[in-house]
Structure 1
């Protein structure tokens, strides 16, 4: 588990180093060559313990293979010169993944990409529980994308009972993605601040076919609305003619009128009217 290491002030040891240099100079001047050389070696060795920890940065300390703690407080510090220091950034980072080809719930190949904001929360896990935590984030995010795509269809064209799809799922799909990525990255001490899909499309080999299918569906839906509106307009026209007694129509003429009105209202081209100046009979 991660533990904080209380490092000593680097400024205090700078003063100690300066005092040592003064003693060394005095030793050389006084002819005490060997003691001065020994003290110089000690001063040089102690200088290896100086370290600077910037804001939102940490230093993981290892002594002969043993974890001794992490410095998270920014500043100028001095630690045991035998410590091996591993600097780990605690800043938030963006991962904008390249779209990858995956299969959705019903097997359609789709291209999906995500954008994620993450940061290191536990430096012990990030340093020791995985080999390379940055590479680990990339690989596990891709694995989470593949699993997410397998949970939902791209849309509900083939699965009409699907309440949630990748295309229309919105926040629910993003929440599932964030939950999946969080679980996978917990082993590396990574905190996932946000994860969401930023690219979604059919794979190139089926994109044109699916586009035609979407267009056909849209045309059918539009025609349905047109026919529905046309029936209402014809019904209203017949009722108005009957109520206001403008003209008396038998069943055959009503059928002819309904047919003509439906052709005019549902046609995709403008109608060309023909004026009849004779008797309708």
Structure 2
């Protein structure tokens, strides 16, 4: 459990140590005429160095974990020039937010498709005691657990809905939901190290190189089929409207065979990819 330790101001200790050091040096200089100044001078210098050792500077968004012969004393988060027991050993821990950009990981999604995924993570030390004593190296711990969380997320959901049409969340279309789930899992994994996740975002997501070409062709084919469906649907409506208007206004009377020929011609014109080339018929439909 983290304990906040508030040391005394270091300015007074700095003044005392400086005066003691100067006084000790002066005594040693004058010891040639007064031999009794030698021992007090040496003691004063040693005491001044001892006081100097307890002076420390804590910068903004930094902390010091203080330990006294293996016993945790507390964490110093106050900024400025401070003084603690010179026998304390201290460990510097930064409280600033840090960025972690994971490498591109090659994993299989929920359906077994090989994909590449990477994320950008913003993390910060929240509990200095856990960061210092609960894990061996909290910085390395963050990197390893972040990679594990990204891999687990990738295997939990499909890349898209091509093979799993009933999927409510996919990696490609999940957006903020996927990022929120990644952030939650990272917080759960890194809590033992006293780390909090400020933000987590998927920065790279793609099919692996060996299937990327095939998946691209599949997406293109799906898009072509969808476009053709819309074209045919519109063409049928236009043909239906044309026949209805011709019959309503009695512009021309068409029997079933002529209607079939007209429908065929209109469908070819409306669904064709190239512009229609008209052909003049100098005879009749039956010649």
TM range (shorter): over 0.9
Q: Is 1:201 the counterpart of 2:206 in the alignment?
A: yes
Q: Distance in 2 between matches of 1:167 and 1:33?
A: 78
Q: Is 1:210 the counterpart of 2:215 in the alignment?
A: yes
Q: Distance in 1 between matches of 2:45 and 2:88?
A: 20
Which residue of 2 is the match for residue 180 of structure 1? Answer: 185
Q: Distance in 1 between matches of 2:60 and 2:23?
A: 36
Q: TM-score, normalised by structure 1?
A: 0.97
Q: Is 1:127 the counterpart of 2:125 in the alignment?
A: no
Which residue of 2 is the match for residue 17 of structure 1? Answer: 17
Which residue of 2 is the match for residue 222 of structure 1? Answer: 227
Which residue of 1 is the match for residue 88 of structure 2? Answer: 83
Shift of 1:279: 3.3
Q: Distance in 1 between matches of 2:21 and 2:135?
A: 43
Q: Distance in 2 between matches of 1:73 and 1:6?
A: 7
Q: Distance in 1 between matches of 2:18 and 2:275?
A: 97
Q: Distance in 2 between matches of 1:199 and 1:3?
A: 40
Shift of 1:147: 0.8
Structure 1 unmatched runs, 5+:
none
SS of the residue corresponding to residue 253 of structure 1 reads: helix
Shift of 1:275: 1.9
- 16-25 or 58-67: bigger deviation: 16-25
Which residue of 1 is the match for residue 114 of structure 2? Answer: 109
Which residue of 1 is the match for residue 67 of structure 2? Answer: 62
Which residue of 2 is the match for residue 139 of structure 1? Answer: 144
CA offsets per residue over residues 96-135 of structure 1, 9 Å max, x none?
1111001100000100000111100000011111111111
Matches within 5 A, 1:192-271: 192-271=197-276
Shift of 1:19: 2.6
SS of the residue corresponding to residue 86 of structure 1 reads: strand
Which residue of 2 is the match for residue 34 of structure 1? Answer: 39
Q: Distance in 2 between matches of 1:25 and 1:207?
A: 76
CA offsets per residue over residues 57-99 of structure 1, 9 Å max, x none?
0011111111111110110111111111111110111111111
- 250-259 or 24-33: bigger deviation: 24-33
Shift of 1:21: 2.6
Shift of 1:210: 0.6
Matches within 5 A, 1:158-173: 158-173=163-178
Shift of 1:26: 4.7
SS of the residue corresponding to residue 64 of structure 2 reads: strand
Q: Distance in 2 between matches of 1:154 and 1:26?
A: 77
Q: Distance in 2 between matches of 1:277 and 1:59?
A: 99
Q: Distance in 1 between matches of 2:103 and 2:274?
A: 46
RMSD: 1.2
Q: Distance in 2 between matches of 1:230 and 1:165?
A: 35
Shift of 1:242: 0.9
- 267-276 or 240-249: bigger deviation: 267-276
Q: Is 1:46 the counterpart of 2:51 in the alignment?
A: yes
